Structure 1
Amino acid sequence: MEWEQHAERLAHQVTDPDSRWLGPVAAVPRHELVPRWWERDRSGGWALRVGEDDPDAWLAAAYADRSLITRVGALHADHAQPDDHPEGRPTSSATLPSLVVSMLRHGRLGDGLDLLDLGTGAGGLTAYAAARLGSERVTSVDVDPYLTGAAAERLARLGLRPRFLALDATAEIPGTYDRIIATVGMPAGPGLRPVLGALREGGRLAATLARTTMILTGWKQADGDVVGRIERDWAGFMLTRSGDDYPPELAELFAHAREAGGEKTSTGRYPVVNVDEAWEVRSMLEVTTPGVETRYETSGRTRTAYLAHADGSWARASAEWTGPPEVRQGGPLRLWDTVERIRTWMLAEGGLPLYGADARVTPDGVVHLSRGRWQGTLGAP
């Protein structure tokens, strides 16, 4: 299969002409890392795509700057049958190359430095890093042994042999490294401690924080703190997981939110928004009200957003197109009121203070944020 011109085009699309990553992106046959993947069909379900069945579509998908979903729930596309239609959330993917390159840049990699890649996925970041740094300098970790095994086999066919480890990075990480890049959403608090322990003094961390789109970068100090900032660009990565699939979501509470009358009914101030795709709002919501789950659906011109929290709080906001929504809420927290306060703050100030904020991560995994007079934390007990 003649893939080289496709990889060359992709490399020029996602890097600059003088970038040190142009060569690695152009040299890696990305299609070989993603022989099968999932796509949404017309009904909104997941449909299997097999590269060998349509080589032109395979090349088009693999060398587009897009993420390819490789695992939904507990079913990897490599193990699926044509009539399989899994349900659940995506649990692994081949991340879009421009975002991979962005994270590599944030990692400030250089010759002679050891890299830990958290979140092997399809192996794209690992491949680019090994192609530039040398395989002996790269370790890649994923909780799923099939992912690490498949990536190891596919990269070996390309002449790349980094070290792969199948383990839960929120529980343990053997060894220490000069650079750590996480392409999964890392939980602040105890789940971040192993990552901090694996980073050498003077080393650099580049990671996204779970349930946010914030990219945290920082350098490890002699006292064990990682000091840096929240970058002014953003990324959306899947959450880390400790098992074969994500824990059950707040299904019963969302079902209740769809039908319940609510303890409080009001008219919202702003049009209904898909909170997960309103990245600044979603990130600030996680800072102010950690652990909120969100859903969004449309029916004709009607837009409805749902929020739920493990403490029993829930909210439903529904409106015709951009009209003022009817809001119903219940439980100890008024979740939609929190969303509206954040949106008011953003409009009044022209933005939120998250991106560009100073960040300090203490050894307990708590992320301390500040910008001007604003302060916030993630992962505090």
Structure 2
Amino acid sequence: MDWKHHAQALAAVATPPGSRWRDPIASIPRHTFVPRWWGGGDDWELRIGESDHDRWLRTAYSNRTLVTRVGALHADHAEPGTVPSGLPTSSATLPGLVAQMYRHASIDDRCTVLDVGTGSGYGTAVLCARLGSGRVTAIDVDPYLNSAAEDRLEEIGYHPRLIAGDATSPLDGQWHRIVAMVSVATVPASWLEALHVGGRLATTLASMSLILTAEKQEDGGAAGRIERDRAMFMNTRTGPDYPLRDHALLKRARVEDGEDVRVGRYPFVLEVIEAWDVRTMLEIIAPGIRHHYSDTSSARIAVMTHQDGSWSRAEERDGVVTVHQGGPRRLWDYLDQVRDHWIRDGELPFLGARATINPEGAITLRRGRWTATIGSG
């Protein structure tokens, strides 16, 4: 299969001129790592590369994420016509984002690197092309993902160390760089233990668009910053799928009158899940809120729920927003606080914030007079 000019075109799109990641991306046959994938929108239609080589090449060498696993079902194991259910649980990350995260990690040619989230193995292959297999380790909680990635890496001549296990648990090794293609709730203490002093980590935080970079300090903690950049990944998991959600509260929140009912202070309902900065700030001040949104010809409706039993529903009909809230906390009030902050100050304070990470992994953010803590270590 003539893939090389496709890879070169992809590298030109995914990296700026002069990037040290351009040649590695141009050298990797990405189609090898995605022989099957889930496509076609929310119905997750199975796509098989061998059945349509032209589509396979167009898709594999596009600068986009390709979902390879939904729920517990990998595309490699699916029968044609199968429609999986659940959330995406593995993918081949879009190459531009791979290069973006490696750039934030400040990887040089002498570094050893732990790649958190082997996934398809594509990002691991890019690292090997740049550094050589001996400097690269990858870890994934799913043994099959590691096994398939190992076979595909060997096929193109790379033999990095692959670990099957929970990346948030104690790690066997030490590295100069740790780069995560998954999101974590806070920095795992095991990452700090596994970094050499002066070593650097780059990760995103769960349910936020934050990219956190930090350097290991002598005291076992780390110091760094929230980059003025954005990215989101799937959250880490400890098993074959994410825990099942209890939808009983969501069902109630969609239909019940609230204990607190009022006209909304803002004249439109915001789709928080797509407003990355607002969603991030909300997660910082009130972690764990889940968002649901619908937009029909008659109404825009946003529902927020939390495992503590709190819920809110905002309905925008004929230019009027009505907010219903119930449970121990008023979730919509937190959202109004975030919107107020943005309007008053012109931006939200987390971008560019200094980050201090204690040895247990709790993160303290500071920018001007603003401060926030993520995680308790």
Q: Does TM, scored on the shorter chain, surpass 0.5?
A: yes
- Distance of 1:55 and 1:182 partners within structure 2: 31
Shift of 1:49: 0.8
Of all paired residues, the percent bearing the same amino acid is: 50
Residue 349 of structure 1 pairs with residue 345 of structure 2: yes
1:374 maps to: 370
TM-score by length of 1: 0.96
- Distance of 2:202 and 2:243 partners within structure 1: 26
| Structure 2 portions without partners, runs of 5+ | none
The residue identity in structure 1 corresponding to 2:64 is: R
Equivalent pair of 2:221/2:361 in contact (CA under 8 Å)? no
The residue identity in structure 1 corresponding to 2:292 is: R
| Structure 1 portions without partners, runs of 5+ | none
Shift of 1:140: 0.3
The residue identity in structure 2 corresponding to 1:214 is: L
**Which has the higher mean CA deviation after the structures are superposed, 262-271 or 81-90?**
262-271
- Distance of 1:52 and 1:46 partners within structure 2: 18
- Distance of 2:264 and 2:246 partners within structure 1: 24
The residue identity in structure 2 corresponding to 1:274 is: E
2:243 maps to: 247
Equivalent pair of 1:262/1:330 in contact (CA under 8 Å)? yes
Residue 310 of structure 1 pairs with residue 307 of structure 2: yes
1:337 maps to: 333
- Distance of 2:320 and 2:350 partners within structure 1: 27
1:294 maps to: 291
Deviation per residue, 1:91-132 (Å, 9 max, x gap) = 111111111100000111112211000011111211111100
The residue identity in structure 1 corresponding to 2:207 is: R
Shift of 1:301: 5.3
Equivalent pair of 1:250/1:308 in contact (CA under 8 Å)? no
Residue 11 of structure 1 pairs with residue 11 of structure 2: yes
Equivalent pair of 2:117/2:139 in contact (CA under 8 Å)? yes
- Distance of 2:332 and 2:53 partners within structure 1: 47
- Distance of 1:57 and 1:209 partners within structure 2: 34
The residue identity in structure 2 corresponding to 1:269 is: R
1:96 maps to: 94
**Which has the higher mean CA deviation after the structures are superposed, 367-376 or 271-280?**
271-280
Shift of 1:324: 3.8
Q: Partner of 1:272: helix, strand, or coil?
A: coil
**Equivalent in 253, 256, 267 of residue 257 of structure 1:** 253
Equivalent pair of 1:187/1:209 in contact (CA under 8 Å)? yes
Shift of 1:325: 2.2
Counterparts of 1:49-68 in structure 2, within 5 Å, are: 49-68=47-66
TM-score by length of 2: 0.97
Equivalent pair of 2:288/2:307 in contact (CA under 8 Å)? yes
The residue identity in structure 2 corresponding to 1:226 is: A
2:36 maps to: 36
2:107 maps to: 109
Q: Partner of 1:172: helix, strand, or coil?
A: coil
Q: Partner of 1:153: helix, strand, or coil?
A: helix
Equivalent pair of 2:302/2:315 in contact (CA under 8 Å)? yes
Equivalent pair of 1:33/1:123 in contact (CA under 8 Å)? yes
- Distance of 1:125 and 1:227 partners within structure 2: 26
Shift of 1:40: 3.3
Structure 1's 137 and 301: CA in aligned 2 closer, same or farther, altered over 3 A?
farther
The residue identity in structure 1 corresponding to 2:248 is: E
Q: Partner of 1:234: helix, strand, or coil?
A: coil
Q: Partner of 1:359: helix, strand, or coil?
A: strand
Counterparts of 1:69-84 in structure 2, within 5 Å, are: 69-84=67-82
